[in-house]
Amino acid sequence: MQNEKVNFIDPYLPFDQYLDINAISASHLREYNYSPRAYYDRFVTKKVIKPTTTAMQEGQMIHHFVLENHTFFEHYNLLDESKKILTTLEALKAECKKLGIKVSGSKETLMQRLLDKDETYIDCFPSKSAKPTIDSVKLDQLQQIRAEIFLNSNAEEIILSGKPEVSCITDSKNFSELPWKCRLDLLSEQMGLIFELKTVDDIKNKVSLGYKILDMSYDIQAAHNIDVFKKITGERLNFLFIVAQRVYPFKVATVKVTRSDFDIALQKRNHLLKKLSRSFQEEYWPSFSHKQITLNLYN
């Protein structure tokens, strides 16, 4: 997709169209910081596609349930637990035999014969569904996470008043070869706030939470998103992270990005943009630094 317009905010742009826009996002910078070669292969030549992990799928599910709850079941199926789940060849043969259907063939063949007989058998084959399927246990976990998030200060008001999945594109090319973009989890202009929901495996304490934010470059994402929005509107919004633990006891932490944190993170973001620009100019994409490294392990 070509950048047909610049300096715009769009709460309705489909995600695949956003991804097609040739501009630099925080995830691009995170990948470049991890490895210039990985950035080049993913975003320039596009010969490498990053696989979707279980953690990513869980995170997407939680995002959808918390931030766009009213459309959740347009994208996910709830397992009908009154129906038998038929996954083994033996179970499929037994079901076919019971209905007087031919029992020879592969699992796929037997599934299709049952569906031809009665299309409601789709509920017995979660793997055949066009949408991901969740069971009542997973639904209960999602409900617990959403309830914990809504207990946090102003979270319910922010989520219910904000616009989810807002795309922002600016033609600013400071320190870079390309324009900038970001996708805001939630934008609440009414409250002057950008809201980002992150999911993690564990929240031990404040120190581990801070390390997680720095390790995952969430600070750079906050600075980048604030700056992109400011470049378009001239307005500097506050930034709030809600960090939710994916597993029991579903801890939730609210983290506000302070002005001093933003200033430091913005410097880090600009430094990465400059390094990325040099890589484009020099066509230099090492997998890791080729310079000798000194580690002060015990300081």
How far is 259 from 55, CA to CA, in rounded Å? Answer: 31
Q: Which of 52-66, 115-129, 184-198 has the lowest mean pLDDT?
A: 115-129
Q: Is the pLDDT of residue 240 over 50?
A: yes
Neighbouring CB atoms inside 10 A of 227's CB total: 21
Q: Which of 274, 277, 252, 236 is closest to 197 using CA atoms? A: 252
Q: Which of 72-81, 167-176, 237-246 is modeled with the greatest confidence? A: 237-246
Q: Is the pLDDT of residue 82 over 50?
A: yes
pLDDT in tens, 203-233: 888 888 888 899 999 999 999 999 999 999 9
User: What pLDDT sits at residue 139?
Assistant: 94
Query: 50 and 42 in contact (C-beta within 8 Å)?
Result: yes
Q: Which of 133, 245, 236 is closest to 197 using CA atoms? A: 245
Q: Which residues pair with 243 in a beta bridge?
A: 198, 253
User: What pLDDT sits at residue 100?
Assistant: 92
C-alpha count within 13 angstroms, C-beta hemisphere, residue 265: 25
User: What pLDDT sits at residue 121?
Assistant: 84
C-alpha distances in Å from residue 164, one per residue of 12, 66, 267, 294: 9, 10, 28, 44
How far is 188 from 252, CA to CA, in rounded Å? Answer: 20
How does residue 164 score in pLDDT terms, banded at 50, 70 and 90?
A: very high
**Token pair 């040739």: residue:** 22
Q: Is the pLDDT of residue 132 over 70?
A: yes
Q: Is the pLDDT of residue 149 over 80?
A: yes
Report the percent of the chain where pLDDT is more than 90: 57
> Is the alpha carbon torsion for 87, 89, 94, 97 positive or negative?
positive
> Which pTM was predicted?
0.81
26-34 and 218-233 helices, crossing angle to 10°: 140
User: What pLDDT sits at residue 130?
Assistant: 65
Q: Which of 176, 164, 167, 158 is closest to 229 using CA atoms? A: 167
Domain segments of the chain as ranges: 8-73+136-282, 80-130
Q: How many residues does the chain have?
A: 299
Q: Which of 282, 101, 89, 67 is closest to 196 using CA atoms? A: 67
CATH code linked to domain 8-73+136-282: 3.90.320.10
